[in-house]
Amino acid sequence: MPCVVLHVDAQCPDPSVIARAARILQAGGLVAFPTETVYGLGANALDAEVVAMIFAAKGRPAHNPIIVHVAALDDAKKLVSSWPPIAQKLAERFWPGPLTLVLPKAACVPNLVTAGGSTVALRMPAHPVALALLRECKLPLAAPSANRSTALSPTLPAHVLAGLADRIDLLLDAGPTTGGLESTVLDVTIDPPRLLRPGLVTIADLEAAVGPIESSPLAPRAEETARSPGQMRRHYAPKTPLEVTTNSHKLVEELCKQGLRVGWLTHIDDGESAALRIVLPDDVAGYSAGLFAALHRLDDAGLDRIVVEEPPAGDDWLAVHDRLRRAAAV
């Protein structure tokens, strides 16, 4: 059965709509809701049976743990066996916001949420709808991105419906999400803390708050034992073959000449092309916000290839490069 879609204002969500969504969550249902990064697929994090439904709906491998979302620092502390000073510092500085902290888990967190591991990933989202929902349902919410496993993350309600319409109970539609890339994941169970997934909070932001962090990529390991399975090589991927290159204009023209239908994603506005071209803003916030929607559009256009102009270098762009590398992996 297709899910119910309720529209809700992104800044001032109607309390009666939030209450309806909260009741569904309390009754063990699945509700997709907006965060400031991407849409999440939420369920009661303390109930292993409904968390199992998240894995089933997404087709998510059981070895990939899920982020738990909370409305307040005190709620986060109930889910961990220790809350070190660095967690306090980072939470005070970046919550609510796109930073996920990996901490030692408390016994009340089902093993399914943490993929059998001894740590739990926690974040307090900054979106008014997500916060209102968390407060109203009075539950921590396990919420991965609301897409089928390995597919592109959803930044629009339509993206959620395309992947999950018949697998969830309700979608709270608050329009496009503003951040566009998933949260930064930081493991604070070790010293120095280790970056597990680059995101909207940059390494420079983190280091300004707590000093040096370990940000070199983890050595490749088997998927089963990866420290953060978000590091799976192919992830966030369109169905259409995608490649990232400098001087993309030339490659695009070559492929078009060969008779291929080409999608072209670039941040450099340099003239006409036979390709289906999307020009993203050349600032990192604008680019990040538009990236997944652009990839969804190109992927849905029935093309043979997607060519992406290599975005600018630099720390700020790390998360963009990370997502594009995974999108291009075969």
Binding residues for ligand TXA (CB under 6 A)? 35, 37-38, 40, 64-67, 98, 100, 102, 114, 117, 119-121, 125, 143-145, 182-183, 185, 196-197, 228-230
Smaller CB separation from ligand TXA, 218 or 301: 218
Q: Measured between alpha carbons, how far is 69 from 100 in angstroms, rounded to an integer?
A: 9
Give the closest residue to 286 by CA, choosing from 313, 307, 311, 252: 311
Q: Which residue matches tokens 């490749």?
A: 220
The stretch among 51-59, 144-152, 191-199, 314-322 that binds Mg ion (CB under 5 A) is: 144-152
Cβ of residue 87: shortest distance to ligand TXA, in angstroms? 14
CA angle, 221 then 114 then 128, to 5°:
115
Give the closest residue to 281 by CA, choosing from 307, 253, 312: 312
Q: What are 151's strand-pairing partners?
A: 237
125 touches 54 (CB < 8 A): no
183 interacts with, out of Mg ion, ligand TXA, none, CB within 5 to 8 A per kind: ligand TXA
101, 186, 305 from 308: Cα distances, Å: 31, 28, 10
185 interacts with, out of ligand TXA, Mg ion, none, CB within 5 to 8 A per kind: ligand TXA
Interface residue with Mg ion among 145, 177, 248, 288 (CB under 5 A) is: 145
Smaller CB separation from ligand TXA, 114 or 248: 114
Smaller CB separation from Mg ion, 18 or 232: 232
177 interacts with, out of Mg ion, ligand TXA, none, CB within 5 to 8 A per kind: none
The stretch among 98-106, 137-145, 193-201, 303-311 that binds Mg ion (CB under 5 A) is: 137-145
100, 198, 252, 326 from 259: Cα distances, Å: 45, 37, 11, 27
Residue 215 makes contact with Mg ion by CB under 5 A: no
97 touches 82 (CB < 8 A): no
257 touches 278 (CB < 8 A): no
Largest CA distance in the chain: 60
The stretch among 29-37, 113-121, 143-151, 277-285 that binds Mg ion (CB under 5 A) is: 143-151
Smaller CB separation from ligand TXA, 98 or 193: 98
Residues that bind Mg ion (CB under 5 A): 145
